[in-house]
Amino acid sequence: MRLQGIPPEDHAVTAPLAGWIAAAIAGSIAPAAALLVANGDARIAGPVLALGMMGTGMIAAAVSGRQWVGAALALVNAALLVLLVRALGLPGFSDPAEAVFAAIVASISFAARGSLFARSAAPRGWWVALAVVAGEAAVLLTAIAMPGAWPVWLLALLPAQWATIALQAALDGTLAPVAGVALVALAGTAAATMFVTRLWPRRWTYAVMFTTWLALSALVRALWEAAI
């Protein structure tokens, strides 16, 4: 994948060390700290795993300019966070195969967005990725701390919430009827994002991405509201 004006082989050299530090903090350190602070609260496991993959996958892809780097690191980070979850005595996945599949789809989706940021906002794409991760994390964590603080329609717009639904379903079966459409939403937005990235700088492709995102968000919202 070629960044505008920056050969792929040179981007890793020019990428700032601060970007990799941000990926480590947002993807690993902050989620691990949240698990420790939660003190055994099982509600935190799904959102923290989703946000950890998002932080690592999106920022790493934006820093490196390579989607596969972000996706691979997101999966490794998710595995480490799962080990921490188990070490803290939190329940494991009731359906490991479903959890692995959800993690793969979510990691690819998050990394696709980071790759787009790298291409459209180089060399500051990782700043955009960090801002997106911070924003979604703030909304999700607020929703956990203060249930009802955010309307369902807003939460349904967030890919991090889609990943949370899919992972939580694999953890304890919560919102299992919505897990399938959440994975479809993650995969659909990943495909649309990769389409935009491939055709960059053709700006009309953004209409495809945003239309896909809004349509899939509406589908998630409809099934989610029906389930609750």
Q: Is residue 3 part of a domain?
A: no
Amino acid at 74: A
**18's torsion region: left (phi>0), alpha (psi -120 to 50) or beta?**
alpha
DSSP-assigned states of every residue in 148-188: TSS-HHHHTT-HHHHHHHHHHHHHH-TTHHHHHHHHHHHHH
Q: Is residue 1 part of a domain?
A: no
* Domain that residue 43 falls in: 8-227
| DSSP letter (8 states) at residue 158 | -
Q: Is residue 210 part of a domain?
A: yes
What is the sign, positive or negative, of the torsion defined by CA atoms of 23, 24, 25, 27? positive
| Number of independent structural domains in the chain | 1
Q: Is residue 2 part of a domain?
A: no
Per-residue tens of pLDDT for the chain, all 228 residues: 344 444 443 444 445 889 999 999 999 999 999 999 887 677 888 999 999 999 999 999 999 999 999 999 999 999 999 999 888 888 778 888 999 999 999 999 999 999 999 999 888 899 999 999 999 999 999 998 898 889 999 999 999 999 999 999 998 887 888 999 999 999 999 999 999 999 998 889 999 999 999 999 999 999 998 887
